[in-house]
Chain A
């Protein structure tokens, strides 16, 4: 039982107008980094809230480290970073952090030590300036994000839940977050995060679960998912001009099933039995200058598009790779 940090079995949560999560079963192995992927409104936040016991499922069970999620001792082992972050604006940073720590059962004196330690580690406390003594709203946005992050980890949780942790982070903080996730994993902690940024998920996660419209689409280890759900794709990179000819080749439905067009870079899925060599020949004949032509495993991004239904678009119609983030903002 306890090899799973999170064990969700047949969980359903309905609201008046819609079903937020439908018959969801998923298991997160202890000590893994787990990605909960899906467009906004897919039920990620509802799932996370049920794991955190903020809301209760209508049916099904949730166990955390083998104990029911409603067990109040369990909540002390969880750390949560909500999607849209915020702290008490008018409160002194150290007091906010101490408050958050006390809610997780950390004693006041112990909290003080850890707070100073963390503030120094994230350079919010330097010999010149101790930002911990400032009010939250005197800090820059980036600093506030650091503070929020400290609040999530202050009680040294065994399971860290990060809801869309990368949204709104500048590159430096994003890197710091990735480093921390890696470090947490090394220390045997379990990290689960929800995101719609497949790049980060692919690089950081051991396992993923893709959910859409409240239902699980697929789950498993990242390697397993790739092997099971993706054909071998072709990565194509071009140089210089001569794009016009390429476009017509990629629209040829007898050869190309779908193509993800990123202007100079294409990820191409052939129709079943399609010959990569035939494709290469036609591209070369079209006069395009090929920089790279490689058989690759599909990216998580590609699998995601395929499985969540956006893949229904015409092959080669070429959406910008980042389009998924834009196209899927809804209300969740």
Chain B
């Protein structure tokens, strides 16, 4: 036991001390915060982007429509500089004014321009041209401002006074979405999908990164013959177990840092968003109970053991990094093909494909947690998935330990599949 501990300790400390671990661990939260904050920030621009105030209104209506529109776009007229510029022009001079505005947009002096004319007053058409024409949020903002202005002019026509008009047309609608599952309310729909995706990505990344870490660690011990020295002190099974556990602990450490930092970032998201000048949307994280957390952890551990023991077997059977890359390709294909299914599964988490993939041991450690994040999984299905994965782990460990103890001592040419199958049958 003390010797197993010595191996775990070495694997853990040597890796945690390395520069790359520190960099990757620090980079993670930055990456995740970028993933979480940037899209949220972009989508939250629906109400107010700074670009939108820099548009020009070319008003060819001749009745002051442009000024009212400017007020409606600005929302808050007390802030200077947050009001689009209005250019009142005669319909005949419109072409010339447009080409001037186009030039200004091209020179980046202006973001874009809106053309309002008689057709607009009739509620038929308005035009916009600008650099942000693809921004759905900006366009929606301008469009609704035009609608509001048209509505206001119509109401004015039927004799409504100004204050009543404001009252009627002002509709600050906040449309929030929330998901309902068998267990009741479960946070916003987008948040769940993002959360599921994050979980899937995290599991995928750590299996790939730490599986390969184990593989090259085993290969190093083999090529430097350290393995022989260690095996003269402890059985090969102990070495394998120590390696898988030690590197697994490194992965877990990194994930705890990542998840912890992401959690803190999410908590601190409101002030950050405010600093960025974006209003905060409601963004509730899906409720993760302790039980679900433990199941996530089990999936991570089992999935990690499943893949890393196979990676260790590959590492022990080859003699160089390039051979290892080749020999590991079937494993990589298994993992990558699982990752390919993440999106379809997220789109249809109750479909047959999703269910089958969450029972097969090579894909279930990634697919099942994703499904758990987005829908409620019947306990029986969950148990079956974990059960199959546990059996898969035992088989993988058994196979790996037998290939490992022979492979570590075999130098020379890379073994064929048949030879490896024979290794499995060797007594020791």
> Which A residues form the contact surface with B (CB < 8 A)?
16, 49, 52-56, 58, 75-76, 78, 80, 82-91, 95, 99-100, 102-105, 151, 331
Q: B419 — which chain A residues lie within 8 A by C-beta?
A: 16
Q: B233 — which chain A residues lie within 8 A by C-beta?
A: 75-76, 100, 103-104
Q: A90 — which chain B residues lie within 8 A by C-beta?
A: 14, 18
In whole angstroms, what is the CA distance A83 to B234 when docked? 19
For chain B, residues 174 to 229, give those with C-beta under 8 angstroms from any C-beta of chain A. 220-221, 223-226, 228-229
**With A102-B2, A103-B6, A105-B3 as given contacts, are A151 and B225 in contact (CB-CB < 8 Å)?**
no
Q: A16 — which chain B residues lie within 8 A by C-beta?
A: 419, 422
In whole angstroms, what is the CA distance A89 to B10 when docked? 13
**Partner among B220, B232, B427 whose Cβ is within 8 Å of the Cβ of A56:** B427
Cβ-defined contact, A58 with B409, below 8 A: no
In whole angstroms, what is the CA distance A89 to B223 when docked? 11
Cβ-defined contact, B220 with A80, below 8 A: no
A227 CB to nearest chain B CB (Å): 36
Q: A84 — which chain B residues lie within 8 A by C-beta?
A: 225
> Which B residues form the contact surface with A (CB < 8 A)?
2-3, 6-7, 10, 14, 18, 220-221, 223-226, 228-234, 236, 409, 412, 419, 422, 427-428
In whole angstroms, what is the CA distance A83 to B220 when docked? 16
In whole angstroms, what is the CA distance A156 to B248 when docked? 33
Cβ-defined contact, A54 with B10, below 8 A: no
Q: List 25 A-B contacts (CB under 8 A).
A: A49-B228, A49-B409, A54-B236, A54-B409, A55-B409, A76-B233, A78-B232, A80-B228, A80-B229, A80-B232, A82-B225, A84-B225, A85-B225, A86-B225, A88-B14, A88-B220, A89-B220, A89-B224, A90-B18, A91-B14, A99-B10, A102-B3, A102-B6, A105-B2, A105-B3
Q: A88 — which chain B residues lie within 8 A by C-beta?
A: 14, 220-221, 224, 226
Q: B220 — which chain A residues lie within 8 A by C-beta?
A: 88-89
Cβ-defined contact, B428 with A56, below 8 A: yes
B18 CB to nearest chain A CB (Å): 8
Q: A82 — which chain B residues lie within 8 A by C-beta?
A: 225, 228-229
- B239: nearest residue on chain A (CB-CB)? A103
In whole angstroms, what is the CA distance A86 to B224 when docked? 4
Cβ-defined contact, A54 with B232, below 8 A: yes
In whole angstroms, what is the CA distance A85 to B10 when docked? 20
Cβ-defined contact, B427 with A58, below 8 A: yes
Is chain B's interface secondary structure helix, strand, loop, or mixed overall? Answer: helix
Sample of 4 more A-B contacts, CB < 8 Å, known A54-B232, A75-B232, A91-B14: A49-B228, A86-B223, A86-B226, A95-B10
In whole angstroms, what is the CA distance A151 to B236 when docked? 19
In whole angstroms, what is the CA distance A159 to B45 when docked? 75
Question: Residue among B3, B233, B412 with the most chain A CB within 10 A?
Answer: B233
Is chain A's interface secondary structure helix, strand, loop, or mixed overall? Answer: loop
Cβ-defined contact, A99 with B6, below 8 A: yes
In whole angstroms, what is the CA distance A82 to B232 when docked? 10
- B228: nearest residue on chain A (CB-CB)? A82
Cβ-defined contact, A103 with B230, below 8 A: yes
In whole angstroms, what is the CA distance A90 to B224 when docked? 12
- Smallest CB-CB A-B distances: 3 pairs: A86-B224, A102-B6, A103-B233
A92 CB to nearest chain B CB (Å): 9
In whole angstroms, what is the CA distance A80 to B233 when docked? 9
Q: A89 — which chain B residues lie within 8 A by C-beta?
A: 220, 224
Q: B236 — which chain A residues lie within 8 A by C-beta?
A: 54
In whole angstroms, what is the CA distance A100 to B10 when docked? 10
Question: Residue among B221, B226, B230, B409 with the most chain A CB within 10 A?
Answer: B226
A152 CB to nearest chain B CB (Å): 8
B234 CB to nearest chain A CB (Å): 6
- B7: nearest residue on chain A (CB-CB)? A103
Q: B2 — which chain A residues lie within 8 A by C-beta?
A: 102, 105
**With A102-B3, A103-B6 as given contacts, are A87 and B224 in contact (CB-CB < 8 Å)?**
yes
B392 CB to nearest chain A CB (Å): 28
B92 CB to nearest chain A CB (Å): 79
In whole angstroms, what is the CA distance A100 to B7 when docked? 10
Q: A58 — which chain B residues lie within 8 A by C-beta?
A: 427
- A101: nearest residue on chain B (CB-CB)? B6
B183 CB to nearest chain A CB (Å): 49
- B223: nearest residue on chain A (CB-CB)? A86
- A148: nearest residue on chain B (CB-CB)? B229
- A88: nearest residue on chain B (CB-CB)? B226
- A155: nearest residue on chain B (CB-CB)? B233
Q: A75 — which chain B residues lie within 8 A by C-beta?
A: 232-234
Q: B412 — which chain A residues lie within 8 A by C-beta?
A: 331
- B406: nearest residue on chain A (CB-CB)? A55
In whole angstroms, what is the CA distance A222 to B226 when docked? 33
Q: B428 — which chain A residues lie within 8 A by C-beta?
A: 55-56
Q: B18 — which chain A residues lie within 8 A by C-beta?
A: 90
In whole angstroms, what is the CA distance A76 to B6 when docked? 14
Cβ-defined contact, A52 with B232, below 8 A: yes
In whole angstroms, what is the CA distance A115 to B10 when docked? 17
Cβ-defined contact, A100 with B229, below 8 A: yes
Question: Residue among A82, A100, A103 with the most chain B CB within 10 A?
Answer: A103
Cβ-defined contact, B226 with A87, below 8 A: yes
Q: B427 — which chain A residues lie within 8 A by C-beta?
A: 56, 58
Q: A100 — which chain B residues lie within 8 A by C-beta?
A: 229, 233
In whole angstroms, what is the CA distance A75 to B238 when docked? 14
In whole angstroms, what is the CA distance A52 to B229 when docked? 10
Cβ-defined contact, A103 with B3, below 8 A: yes
Cβ-defined contact, B225 with A103, below 8 A: no
In whole angstroms, what is the CA distance A99 to B229 when docked? 11
Q: B221 — which chain A residues lie within 8 A by C-beta?
A: 88
B426 CB to nearest chain A CB (Å): 8
B114 CB to nearest chain A CB (Å): 63
Q: A86 — which chain B residues lie within 8 A by C-beta?
A: 223-226
In whole angstroms, what is the CA distance A104 to B422 when docked? 32
Q: A55 — which chain B residues lie within 8 A by C-beta?
A: 409, 428
A74 CB to nearest chain B CB (Å): 11
Q: B14 — which chain A residues lie within 8 A by C-beta?
A: 88, 90-91, 95
In whole angstroms, what is the CA distance A55 to B229 when docked? 13
